[in-house]
């Protein structure tokens, strides 16, 4: 075969291989999304307590999963990997929201009450009944004031109902350290709830 034709043949084979790899990647991603989309959404909901924000976080998480799928090496379970991506995105989202809230507060005198209400997040957890909504809102409000690691330990162990082993793997710590963290989180939550009741 002449060199030029051989060159084009190689390029054609390479393009077919790339296309096939992309198709396999897309199929794999679709299966992952089908398997874990509810998990990601529900976990995000525990962090932000607002379904619109949880939907946005879910979209961001799966964009990152797709972009990084070829770098996943199986060193952790896929579920654990996705949990970590979701937690990091939730915490980043909350930090960004707090920064936005701070900026609005600094310029709050120039804003109408309607503007402030529109820009502040609203407690909108679809899994909570109207009768218990206020009580649950106060609990989440207290949880939201905890340090990130304490908050995550509480959410994973008591709301997501994960085991200590699963939670320790997700948080990349040993189980004894997790027990200590969870103990501090419970005490801090109790104190925060008492403080909030006194307001």
pLDDT in tens, 112-170: 444 444 444 555 666 565 566 778 888 899 999 999 999 999 999 999 999 999 999 99
Threshold 0.85, pTM exceeds: no
CA distance 103 to 96: 11
Closest CA to 178 of 147, 199, 157: 157
Q: Are residues 47 and 93 in the same domain?
A: yes
pLDDT at 159: 92
Closest CA to 143 of 196, 82, 97: 196
Q: What residues are paired with 124 via a beta bridge? A: 50
Number of domains the chain contains: 2
Q: In which residue are the tokens 């969870």 written?
A: 182
User: Is 84 among the domain residues?
Assistant: yes
Q: What are phi and psi of 124, to 5 degrees?
A: -145, 70
CB 154 within 8 A of CB 87: no
Q: Are residues 76 and 118 in the same domain?
A: yes
pLDDT in tens, 66-114: 989 888 877 789 999 999 999 999 999 999 987 766 555 555 544 444 4
Q: Are residues 120 and 43 in the same domain?
A: yes
Closest CA to 93 of 61, 129, 140, 137: 61
CB 154 within 8 A of CB 146: yes
Average pLDDT, the chain: 81
Residue 196: CB partners within 8 Å, gap ≥ 6? Answer: 138, 141, 142
Question: What domain range is 168 assigned to?
Answer: 129-199
């Amino acid at each position: 075969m002449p060199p030029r034709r051989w060159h084009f043949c190689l390029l054609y084979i390479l393009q077919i291989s790339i296309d096939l790899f992309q198709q396999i990647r897309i199929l794999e991603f679709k299966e992952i999304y089908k398997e874990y989309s509810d998990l990601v959404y529900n976990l995000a909901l525990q962090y932000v307590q607002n379904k619109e924000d949880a939907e946005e976080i879910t979209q961001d998480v799966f964009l990152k999963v797709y972009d990084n799928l070829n770098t996943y090496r199986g060193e952790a379970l896929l579920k654990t990997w996705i949990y970590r991506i979701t937690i990091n995105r939730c915490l980043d989202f909350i930090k960004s929201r707090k920064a936005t809230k701070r900026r609005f507060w600094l310029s709050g005198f120039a804003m109408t009450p309607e503007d402030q209400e529109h820009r502040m997040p609203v407690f909108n957890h679809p899994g909570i009944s109207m009768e218990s909504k206020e009580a649950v809102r106060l609990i989440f409000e207290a949880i939201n004031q905890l340090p990130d690691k304490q908050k995550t330990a509480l959410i994973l162990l008591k709301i997501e109902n994960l085991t200590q082993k699963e939670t320790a793997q997700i948080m990349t710590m040993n189980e004894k350290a997790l027990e200590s963290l969870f103990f501090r989180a419970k005490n801090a939550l109790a104190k925060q709830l008492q403080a909030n009741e006194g307001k």
